[in-house]
Structure 1
Amino acid sequence: MYDALVIGGGPAGLQATLTLGRMHRPTLMLDSGSYRNAPVDAMHNILTNDGRDPAEFRSIVRAELAAYGEVEVRDVAATSVERLVDGTFAATLADGSTVASRTVVLATGLRDVMPDVPGFAEQWGRTVHVCPFCHGHELSGKRVAIQDSPNAGHAVALLSPIAGAITVVPPVTRVASSAAGLVVTSGSTAVVVDGLFAHPAFEQSAPFAEQLGLELRESGCIAIDMFGHTSVPGVFAAGDLAHVADMPMPMPSVLAAAHAGQLAGAMVVREVLMQAV
């Protein structure tokens, strides 16, 4: 029986696990090896880690977790999680084993849903981006396209001090790499740029919110309070799979995810102490 089962090995799950390890709470972290930022070569806008490869970042933190004897890390996905009648939790893993825990921290993140546009998925995270804060600076003085949407004007305002030229493109029908740059096609019109900003849909990357009957917001993300509590006692959520009511959408940021993981980890400690009273 673990005090905490942390599902997800990205920044939210890693930080939650580190926080729990430092408090000597028996913790199991499950890492499926699937990460939302896997397509990118470098993370940005992160103290001491600006430009670091996400895989290197995860490797460094995993090495740090090894110093804490109460922490166990398994490179295996969970397939199901249920809350038992006594208030504890049981999870079935992809290798067929089961584990039990007093609390659960969901940190499985979101999955970007690629549109049915030739070349979009291949360029996603390389020349097609979603966040100017994360990837805008690398396009300083260069040609940028922005896919038209209700928020296109805001994106133009954000990128105007950075880009050399900005083109708002109606519905994108094809993207392709060429010697001249990224060719963004809209119907019969094409523009050559150095980067495209677009906003594909997203969804929960794992089924656990549905399995546990968690309340969701209109965004499709898990409803949490400012400390990571979900609508089900003993279940916490951290990272871009969840957000508080005051936020209209999740914040896809490594720092924000780590912050949420730290809060969730601390709240797990409080929850376990209250259970012991």
Structure 2
Amino acid sequence: MTEDNFDVVIVGGGPAGLSAAVALGRARRTVAVIDSGEPRNAPAHAVHNFLTRDGTSPAEMLRLGRAEALSYGATVIDARAENAVKTDDGFAVTLTDGKVVAGRRLLVTTGLVDELPAIAGLRERWGVDVLHCPYCHGWEVRDRAIAILAVGPTAMHQAQLFRQWSADVTLLLNDQAEPADEQLELLAARGIAVVRGRVESLVVRDDALTGVAMSDGRVHAAEALVVAPTFTARAGLLVGLGLELTQHPMGVGTFVAVDATGATSLPGVWAAGNVSNLTGQVITSAAEGLWAGAQINANLLGDDERAALEAYRAVRSTP
């Protein structure tokens, strides 16, 4: 079964996808937004650094975004997109129930998955007091005991960043390589303690993080734990279309490369938000969705102009 054809099919109903839907709806394009209801920031209490929306819960942000997109004529479909194929007219996206949604252009805003270390209790506290972004959560844990878990290439940078929010910062090496002498000197200069050994689990009391337990039985006080996850773009749909993912230059994960307009290397396919920008915040994703929507509209305009010109010339050539 095929739904009505749309000018644009957007897969992913987060800030990027909904912002694009609003822009395209206001441009009087027909838009379908397919969303599986799995927002990356669902565990977080609130969205921050979004002007006029600071402190809004992720669920409320999505509710408001959906209502706004619907007000401009967008169709929102609660379903998972299983695959997409190129057609003569654009793209056909198959949903889990077998329905097919067709569009002249395709925008993928499916975000990313945070892959976390296998430490007992860590996943359950993710987005609460297990954090990764100082700009998202630093203010909320200011002046508290903050521990940095050494994972990947960014631990030193994270330790120095979070020192801006608290004087009580500890770097947990977690059996990672010993920092270079100059790094240790800089940590000492900034008053950042270094703890060697492997982290075993989190210590939680009264639904709040109080410390981290080491494999040798030691417990270090911590009211917030900073972890650098591996960011993996949710790009199965695009990979199925033949696109290859790109390794991030900082070694933090994989993403979908796009050009200045948000277009991927696949003709007719755009991407926006965390699927193409691993470190973008909510407001960044919304802005990228707006930009991609405007660029898709301009791209569609080229088709409209060509079709109008062909029809005009056909009429003019008729005796």
Q: Normalising TM by the smaller chain, what interval?
A: over 0.9
> 1 CA distance for matches of 2:14 and 2:164?
32
Question: TM-score normalised to the size of structure 1?
Answer: 0.92
Structure 1 position 175 matched with structure 2 position 202: yes
Give 2:182's aligned residue: none
3-state DSSP of counterpart to 1:151? helix
> 2 CA distance for matches of 1:263 and 1:186?
47
Farther-moved stretch of structure 1 (41-50 vs 151-160): 151-160
Give 2:135's aligned residue: 133
Give the counterpart letter for 1:203 in structure 2. Answer: T
Query: Is the CA contact 1:129–1:196 (under 8 Å) kept in the aligned structure 2?
Result: yes
How big is the shift at 1:131? 0.3
How big is the shift at 1:157? 2.1
Give 1:184's aligned residue: 212
Give the counterpart letter for 1:194 in structure 2. Answer: E
Q: Name the one with the larger helix percent.
A: 2
Question: TM-score normalised to the size of structure 2?
Answer: 0.81
Percent of aligned positions with the same letter in both sequences?
38
Query: Is the CA contact 1:108–1:206 (under 8 Å) kept in the aligned structure 2?
Result: yes
Give the counterpart letter for 2:200 in structure 1. Answer: T
Larger Rg: 2
Q: CA RMSD in A?
A: 1.5
How big is the shift at 1:87? 5.2
> 2 CA distance for matches of 1:161 and 1:135?
12
Give 2:60's aligned residue: 56
> 1 CA distance for matches of 2:121 and 2:13?
29
* Ranges in structure 1 where 5+ consecutive residues have no aligned partner: 244-249
> 2 CA distance for matches of 1:176 and 1:105?
42
- Relative to structure 1, the CA distance from residue 205 to residue 173 in structure 2 (aligned partners, 3 Å threshold; closer, same or farther) is farther
Give 2:30's aligned residue: 26
How big is the shift at 1:95? 1.9
> 1 CA distance for matches of 2:209 and 2:23?
44
Farther-moved stretch of structure 1 (153-162 vs 43-52): 153-162
> 1 CA distance for matches of 2:214 and 2:99?
49
Give the counterpart letter for 1:193 in structure 2. Answer: A
> 2 CA distance for matches of 1:174 and 1:205?
28
Give 1:251's aligned residue: 279
3-state DSSP of counterpart to 2:273? coil
Give 1:89's aligned residue: 91
Moved over 3 A (4+): none
How big is the shift at 1:153? 2.3
> 1 CA distance for matches of 2:103 and 2:297?
13
Kindly tell me the number of residue pairs found equivalent between the two proteins.
Answer: 269
* Ranges in structure 2 where 5+ consecutive residues have no aligned partner: 175-198, 249-253, 307-319
> 1 CA distance for matches of 2:280 and 2:129?
18
